[in-house]
Structure 1
Amino acid sequence: MTDHLADIKKYVETVDETVVAAMEKTYRLVLSKQDSASVSFSDPAELATVRENFLKKKLGVTGSDAELDAQIKQVGQQIHGRKDRLTVYYLLAEHYGKLDALK
């Protein structure tokens, strides 16, 4: 299994370890499958799922789809190599000031 905390620390100076532990528990099933443990930034349907299910439903982020899609794309460009789902979600939640929603 991926060391999610170490991966997130590559991109964030101070990581809330409580949030990461809660995310690992919440997304345990998704992370256990190789094809869903990372985000495919080349798949428009997957990016729409991140926008709709994570940003809008889980975090309660508002904004136009274009604005949210631009932020998702920016996170994808920030991460090098494999786009670990927890890293993507953590960076998006941090950007929107919504880390507490993941505890």
Structure 2
Amino acid sequence: MGKRDDLIARYADDLRSKCGVEPDMDLLTKVTIGCGPTIYDADAATVAASQPAELETVKHNFLIKKLGVPDGPELMEAIEKVMQTYGMSERNKYRAVVYYLLTRHFGKEHVYG
């Protein structure tokens, strides 16, 4: 297995053990690939849930630009819900896992079709 496959396995484990979600491996793989090279950078691979600017970046760059979700208060509510699902005390919230959960939350799996 390559490094990306190892990371996808780690993300799937996080979804199962920390989020209580059985991942759709095909979708998780596509979301991970969609993250591009950020998954290999220790800082960029995670979402800093305690930094409002980081959450705004997730909202604008992922939800609005990538998934095409219209802007509104429900976007930050969804991000907060995903962060709670992941566990607020969990230090490393992997970007691919957060994006996967948001994609499922908004029913936007077809974006990765």
> Shorter-normalised TM-score: what interval?
0.7 to 0.9
Amino acid at match of 1:89: Y
- Paired with 1:25 and 1:54, the residues of 2 have a C-alpha distance of 14
Runs of 4+ in 1 over 3 A off after TM superposition: none
Look up the match of 1:17. 25
Q: Are 1:69 and 2:76 counterparts?
A: yes
Q: Root-mean-square deviation (CA), in Å?
A: 1.7
Look up the match of 2:3. none
| Cα 1:76–1:31 shift into 2, 3 Å | same
Amino acid at match of 1:95: H
Q: How many residues align?
A: 102
- Displacement of 1:30 in angstroms is 0.6
Look up the match of 1:27. 35
Q: Structure 2: 5+ residue runs without aligned partners? A: 1-5
Q: Structure 1: 5+ residue runs without aligned partners? A: none
Question: What is the aligned-residue identity percentage?
Answer: 34
What is the TM-score normalised by the length of structure 2? 0.79
